[in-house]
């Protein structure tokens, strides 16, 4: 299933516009990626199971409340451009324990990191999906899986239903423009100042 969150979110549309501007780079771009990650990450939090917790209100009365069960979470950050998006997602977890894996390739993922876990794979751009396919194969036995990305190329969309019907995909936008940056306009280079 695919959710494109910017379709009905004007603030997210503004952030997308800023993130696409060649003039936006470095810390400013990193901050925008983190903000987008937080917005997209809410979908991950909403997908987690809920549990009942006893609470005492300010008047001293005991009651119950539905709260998110934050147990068994693994965030897989696809380096390097996915770093700040994943930090935005991670910030929503507060002090709740979780695994945070910075990954250069699917072979970085140990099987015990995904067993009985709610796994979220975070990247900045999904182009052909070749890299992502290796990760999705690796996490196929997870309790649940979600992919979060700033942008997904339109050509990848048909593959979701065909190949990944159990995985939720949450993106800020889908692009019809297939483009892989290089040099100064590559996302990673704009984030980290490397050319």
Query: pLDDT (tens digit, 9 = 90+) per residue, 47-89?
Result: 999 999 898 989 989 989 999 999 999 999 999 889 999 999 9
- The 10s digit of each residue's pLDDT in 96-117 is 999 999 999 999 898 888 999 9
Q: How confident is the model at residue 185 (pLDDT cuts 50, 70, 90)?
A: low
Provide the pLDDT for residue 45. Answer: 96
pLDDT of residue 117: 95
Q: pLDDT of 105-161, one tens digit each?
A: 999 898 888 999 999 999 999 988 899 999 999 998 899 999 999 999 999 999 898
Q: What is the CB neighbour count within 10 angstroms for residue 130?
A: 9
For residue 110, give every residue at least 6 positions away whose Cβ sits within 8 Å of its Cβ, in sequence order, or none: none
Q: Please, which contacts does 98-103 make with residues 24 or more away whose CB atoms are closer than 8 Å?
A: 98/70, 98/73, 98/74, 99/73, 99/74, 99/75, 100/74, 100/75, 101/74, 101/75, 101/76, 101/77, 102/77, 103/76, 103/77, 103/78, 103/79, 103/135
Confidence of residue 180 (pLDDT cuts 50, 70, 90): low
How high is the pLDDT of residue 194? 73
Instruction: State yes or no: pLDDT of 172 exceeds 60.
Output: yes
Q: How much is the pLDDT for 190?
A: 77
């Amino acid at each position: 299933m695919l959710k494109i969150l910017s379709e009905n979110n004007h603030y997210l549309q503004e952030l997308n516009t800023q993130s696409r501007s060649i003039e936006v780079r470095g810390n400013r771009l990193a901050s925008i990626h983190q903000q987008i990650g937080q917005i997209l990450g809410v979908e991950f939090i909403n997908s987690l199971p809920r549990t009942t917790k006893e609470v005492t209100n300010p008047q001293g009365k005991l009651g119950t409340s539905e709260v998110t069960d934050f147990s068994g979470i693994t965030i897989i950050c696809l380096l390097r451009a996915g770093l700040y998006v994943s930090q935005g997602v991670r910030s929503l977890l507060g002090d709740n324990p979780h695994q945070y894996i910075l990954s250069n390739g699917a072979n970085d993922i140990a099987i015990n990191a995904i067993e009985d876990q709610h796994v979220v794979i975070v990247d900045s751009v999904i182009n052909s999906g070749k890299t992502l396919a290796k990760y999705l194969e690796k996490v196929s036995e997870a309790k649940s899986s979600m992919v979060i990305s700033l942008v997904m190329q339109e050509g990848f969309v048909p593959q979701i239903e065909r190949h990944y019907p159990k995985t939720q995909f949450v993106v800020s936008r889908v692009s019809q423009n297939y483009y892989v940056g290089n040099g100064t306009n590559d996302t990673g280079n704009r984030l980290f100042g490397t050319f």
